[in-house]
């Protein structure tokens, strides 16, 4: 079953507005990551938050993590047209000594000029 699931599936906003995307997951994690993907390109890592952290900032990005609710949110402030992309959360799961990331379906963000 899918571990991470983003909400909403699609989001359209005007330039300058804030964008909030949510991610819910099912099992315990060590960390949660957010990635960005421009159309037809590879994923780019944005931010990693560990299970013992509640909030993390990077430039215009703010990520929160609520392990009791098994959810995370990504806030992009003062959005720009260049922020238009798909955003994915990824959670790690352990399989013995090896770990793998499980990605959600993503949120497609469109920022209109």
Partner 1 sequence: ETGVTQTPRHLVMGMTNKKSLKCEQHLGHNAMYWYKQSAKKPLELMFVYNFKEQTENNSVPSRFSPECPNSSHLFLHLHTLQPEDSALYLCASSHTQRGETQYFGPGTRLLVL
Binding residues for partner 1, rule: CB under 8 A, are 2, 30-31, 33, 35, 40-45, 48, 88, 92, 94-95, 98-106
Can you tell me whether residue 29 is helix, strand or coil?
Answer: coil
**Closer by beta carbon to partner 1, 84 or else 86:** 86
Written as six digits, the tokens of 78 are: 């003062």
Contact 16, 82 (CB under 8 A): no
List the helix and strand counts (H, then E) for the chain. 0, 11
Report, in Å, the least distance between residue 64 CB and partner 1. 19
Contact 4, 21 (CB under 8 A): no
Angular region, 40: left φ>0, alpha ψ -120 to 50, beta rest: left
**Closer by beta carbon to partner 1, 46 or else 111:** 46
**Closer by beta carbon to partner 1, 96 or else 113:** 96
**Closer by beta carbon to partner 1, 2 or else 112:** 2
Report, in Å, the least distance between residue 70 CB and partner 1. 16
Can you tell me whether residue 9 is helix, strand or coil?
Answer: coil
Report, in Å, the least distance between residue 113 CB and partner 1. 26
Report, in Å, the least distance between residue 29 CB and partner 1. 8
């Amino acid at each position: 079953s899918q571990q991470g699931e983003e909400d909403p599936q699609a989001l359209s906003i005007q330039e300058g507005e804030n964008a909030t995307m949510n991610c819910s997951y099912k099992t315990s994690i060590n960390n949660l990551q957010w990635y960005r993907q421009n159309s037809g390109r590879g994923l780019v890592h944005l931010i990693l938050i560990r299970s013992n952290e509640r909030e993390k900032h990077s430039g215009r990005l703010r990520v929160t993590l609520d392990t009791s609710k098994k959810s995370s949110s990504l806030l992009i402030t003062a959005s720009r047209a260049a922020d238009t992309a798909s955003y994915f959360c990824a959670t790690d799961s352990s399989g013995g000594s090896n770990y793998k990331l499980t990605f959600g379906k993503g949120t497609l963000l469109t920022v209109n000029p």
